[in-house]
Amino acid sequence: MSIKPGILFFIVGLLAMSHVCKAQSPAGVVDEVVWVVGDEAILRSDVERVRNDYGSQLKGNPYCSIPEQLAIQKLFIHQAAIDSVDVSDSEVNQYVEQDITQKVMMAGSREKLEEYMRMPMTQIREELFDMFKDQLIAREMRRSLTKDVKVTPAEVRRYYKDLPEDSIPYIPTQVEVQILVLRPEIPQNEIDRVKDELRGFAERVNSGSTSFAALARFYSQDEGTRRAGGELDYVGRTDLDPAFAAVAFALTDPKRVSKVVQSDFGYHIIQLIDRRGDKVKVRHILRRPEVSSEAIDEALTRLDSIAADIRADKFSFDVGAQQISDDKDTRNNKGIMFNIKDGAQTSRFEMGDLPGEVARAVDKMQVGEISQPFTMTDRRGMKVCAIVKLRARIPAHRAIITEDFQVMKTAVEAKKSEDVINKWIKDKQAATYIRINEGWRGCDFQYPGWVK
């Protein structure tokens, strides 16, 4: 149920800048309009805000790179308004809450953050909301412009045919891993405790004594939606856990809270916000039963016995994963873990792509070896116990067309997408009114067409 925020386009653009700029920051100016793009102004304060947050990570002169990236962002936002490309407030709020949490940790407290930024928390939220909304709309517009970019196998082969060897993508060491998972047993009284807790929340909301969103912020264990008051964006039935979807799509009264529903993520109560065609917008509170240390020890002991039987050839890891494992994602694939990367599914993982606990287990293992039992948190946030088998280790190498076609295809798609974006920006530069103040022009811009 968690939603993982992605990397914002314009920040990535800033961090990737490597050109050297020559302009210097004007001195002694509190605030001023430094660029005008169409009918949109870029203020010096806008530049300073980004410089304060990311300046140490930028290359070159920030008074060149930052306003250029802000100008590109404004081109995207203007086009997004024309094409009706938008993002939901709930998605924006997730970024806002994440950023505030990080800022509070750095400042030491909310009060110190307000003192440092010289504004109350409500104003901080408003300014961050506007900033993140612009960034997310620009990202969605960029995706919209490149959504039709496709490459054929022939294009991939042609692209790499004459490429110098040192320009061919370098593939780090990869591994293929099988996993066998046991979920520690949870006693009925613990399940009843969680259900009673959620029923109590529902009664408080239904009686009007507390808002659902406030309870979600305090008590929900879904970190992806908790800070947004448990709110999910509009989703279709197939985007949700089946049990969760069955209840969410049966709701009709936004003032009432659902019964307690069990999903693969834990236990929930749900409140309807809105319905739009075949999609529904809801908020929820997730609670998970606590797993006792005794139950964990019992599962680890059983896994230790299973691993011993596999090593003694009483049955194979494949059979054990198919017949014993509690992991729905892998048990029908003989326990083979699959990695979704760049939109494609592969059984190969770079070490950094594996769950941390699995990576630590396989790091020093030999191919064919079975690990000792260990505990981990699965992708649903549940505490489980597992053993893994290292199925293969592929040494680091330059990409080979026969073995690493997807990596090469992704690189060519990225190159074509970047070509589309570059052409689009240059066309927009030529057709858009742009004014840059004296003192801000003498830059080695990524796109020279700003100065006319």
Q: Coil, strand, or helix at residue 88?
A: coil
Q: Determine contact, residues 282/272, Cβ cutoff 8 Å.
A: yes
Nearest CA-CA partner of 97 in 84, 110, 87: 110
Q: Coil, strand, or helix at residue 207?
A: coil
pLDDT for the residue 343: 66
Give the whole-angstrom CA distance, residue 281 versus residue 258: 14
Lowest mean pLDDT among 103-112, 134-143, 340-349: 340-349
Among 255, 287, 319, where does a domain finish? 287
Give the whole-angstrom CA distance, residue 92 versus residue 82: 20
The answer to the question of residue 312 being in a domain is: yes
Instruction: Tell me which residue range forms the domain holding 317.
Output: 171-185+291-398
Q: Report the chain's mean pLDDT, rounded to a whole number.
A: 88
> What are the helix and strand counts (H, E) for the chain?
14, 15
Percent of the chain at pLDDT exceeding 70:
92
- Indicate which CATH number applies to the domain containing 140: 1.10.4030
Is 8 a residue whose pLDDT tops 60?
Answer: no
Radius of gyration for the alpha carbons in the chain, expressed in angstroms and rounded? 26
Lowest mean pLDDT among 13-17, 58-62, 155-159, 438-442: 13-17
Total domain count, the chain: 3
Do 248 and 310 lie in one domain? The reply is no
Query: Taken in order 400, 403, 404, 408, is the CA torsion positive or negative?
Result: positive
Query: Taken in order 215, 216, 217, 218, is the CA torsion positive or negative?
Result: positive
Task: Report helix angle 153-161 to 405-431, nearest 10.
Answer: 90
Instruction: Outline where 312-404 has alpha helix (H).
Output: 317-323, 356-362
Phi-psi region at 330: left, alpha or beta (left = phi > 0; alpha = psi -120 to 50)? alpha
pLDDT for the residue 372: 97
Do 105 and 226 lie in one domain? The reply is no
- Indicate which CATH number applies to the domain containing 313: 3.10.50.40
Residue 35: pLDDT band with limits 50, 70, 90: very high
Residue 117: pLDDT band with limits 50, 70, 90: confident
Q: Give the DSSP letter of residue 441.
A: -
Residues 257-272 have pLDDT tens digits of: 999 999 999 999 999 9
